[in-house]
Amino acid sequence: MDKKKATLTVDGTVPIELDVLRGSLGQKELDIRTLGAQGYFTFDPGFTSTASCQSKITYIDGDQGVLLYRGFPIDQLALNSNYLEVCYILLYGETPNLDQFYKFQGSVTNHFVLHEQIHHILRGFCRNSHPMAMLCAMTGALATIYHDSMDVNRKTHRDLTAKRLLAQMPIMASMCYRYSRGKPFIYPRNDFSYAGNILYMMFSSPSDKYVVNPILERALDCILILHADHEQNASTSTIRTVGSSGANPFSCIAAAVASLWGPSHGGANEACLLMLEEIGTVENIPLFLQRAKDKNDSFRLMGFGHRVYKNYDPRAMVMRDICHEVLNHLEVKKDLMEVAMKLEYLALHDSYFIERKLYPNVDFYSGIILQAMGIPSSMFTVIFAIARTVGWIAHWKEMHDEGLKIARPRQLYTGYTRRNFNSKIK
Ligand code: ACO
């Protein structure tokens, strides 16, 4: 990186010199690592202006609405790649040739069988448990099984873990779904694609031949690609934070799943669909827009706004096209799509949303597509978790490849000053 200098003067003291770091696409960042030793910390709750690491995986330009995986634009990948190829690109940085791709695919499908003990863990849960709760527990429980790949300091172990998680996340996810419906578990097939296997494991019956619908398979594959990585979002920052202590990869993934579940993050797709259903008809939209703008009302327009994008989320554009394709193909009722499109139009022409640069994000249309495919809303964030697993692992691997530094933020203490203790219970 090309280094320039910045100086910081606090209360007229001797100026502190800071390096200005330049990212490969020109972004400027002040290197404040020496400030602590000089008695100063920076204050940035929610990390609105803080880069916690350097990374070569994903680039976002929120003002321009740009998203690149290893330099490749997201729309090109969504239209011309497949999820496993994107996984390879995210994990290894380059596009695979055919031989590398087949080897990689084979090394993932090699792990298509889940340890039987995981079934017992699942069977301990109430049938009506939320699938994200079950998935979180199951991913963490893998640490009780795969002792042969938990030495985080060994590259071979990290690579083995990556393949295992890519293979087994969709198996565990579909098991959560089938368990909640009392259906027998189905294992993936080596001759189906990654997305095709998710549909197969969720919807097939052991006694019937299952034919994967190519339109739905392609749509799901696109959804997986669009959600595969998004640099230092809450769940990815979580995995880096948890992993920075040297914790085993399965505990790290469980923590990321937990973080993703929140409605401000991956839970937004489920919340968005529920919101669209609650709005119900286009006539009700103005009332809900009014509520979203009212500071005394906790209601927010789900699927709208983003910490980084202050322009149209490039993933939302692809998602809207897939949504049309799937709804047309399935010839299902388009009521929710109509509500979504009208809501988008009205919000984009409303000064509240314009001034705050609030645009539809990736979750605005994804719920409508998943619902049309027959996936229940409680599984939406689970599908997101399957897709994001590769991003989490890519960041976890990158962090280990580059050498660990434990995440240990400081704070601005605003509590009591020193005082003497006198017990009131004596
Ligand atoms: N509806 C109404 N107002 C909103 C919305 C929204 N969806 N999002 C932001 N605002 C308003 C805030 O009230 C705030 O207004 P103010 O300046 O008058 O106080 C302003 O816009 C800035 O909002 P912040 O909350 O400061 O923005 P932040 O970057 O912290 O939050 C977030 C981003 C969490 C995504 C937010 O926009 C939100 O809650 N959106 C709805 C949930 C959602 O769709 N999440 C999915 C994100 S994408 C993903 O994780 C895959």
- 80-87: list long-range contacts, CB under 8 Å, 24+ apart: 81/225, 82/193, 82/194, 82/221, 82/225, 83/193, 83/194, 83/195, 83/221, 83/224, 83/225, 83/228, 83/387, 84/108, 84/193, 84/194, 86/224, 86/225, 86/228, 86/390, 87/166, 87/228, 87/390
Nearest C-alpha neighbor of 345 from the set 359, 329, 326, 356: 359
State yes or no: pLDDT of 2 exceeds 80: no
Q: What is the pTM of this model?
A: 0.92
CATH number for 4-42 (one of 1.10.10.10, 2.20.28.60, 2.40.50.140, 3.30.300.160): it is 2.20.28.60
What φ, ψ does residue 188 adopt, rounded to 5°?
Answer: -70, 165
Please tell me the distance between residue 305's alpha carbon and the centre of ligand 1 in angstroms: 5
State yes or no: pLDDT of 1 exceeds 70: no
268-372: in CATH 1.10.760.10: no
Which tokens go with 284? 């009700």
Alpha helices (H) in 153-267, listed in sequence order: 155-180, 194-203, 214-226, 234-243, 249-260
Structural class in CATH, domain 83-261+382-402: mainly alpha
Which tokens go with 262? 């929140």
Please tell me the distance between residue 306's alpha carbon and the centre of ligand 1 in angstroms: 6
In the set 230, 265, 363, 395, the catalytic residue is 363
Which tokens go with 240? 């880096």
Q: Where are the domains of the chain?
A: 4-42, 83-261+382-402, 268-372
Measured on CA atoms in the order 154, 157, 161, 163, is the torsion positive or negative? positive
Helix (H, G, I), strand (E, B) or coil at 22: strand
Atom 44 (ligand 1) nearest CA: 303
Annotate 277-314 with DSSP letters as a single string.
HHH-SGGGHHHHHHHHH-TTS----TTB--SS-SS--H
- CB of 304 within 6 A of ligand 1: the answer is yes
Q: What is the pLDDT of residue 333?
A: 78
DSSP state of 11: T
Please tell me the distance between residue 295's alpha carbon and the centre of ligand 1 in angstroms: 12
Q: How confident is the model at residue 380 (pLDDT cuts 50, 70, 90)?
A: very high
129-161 pLDDT, tens digit per residue, is 999 999 999 999 999 999 998 999 999 999 999
5-37 pLDDT, tens digit per residue, is 999 998 888 899 999 999 999 999 999 999 999
- CB of 86 within 6 A of ligand 1: the answer is no
Mean pLDDT of 64-82: 97
Q: What is the pLDDT of residue 3?
A: 67
State yes or no: pLDDT of 210 exceeds 70: yes
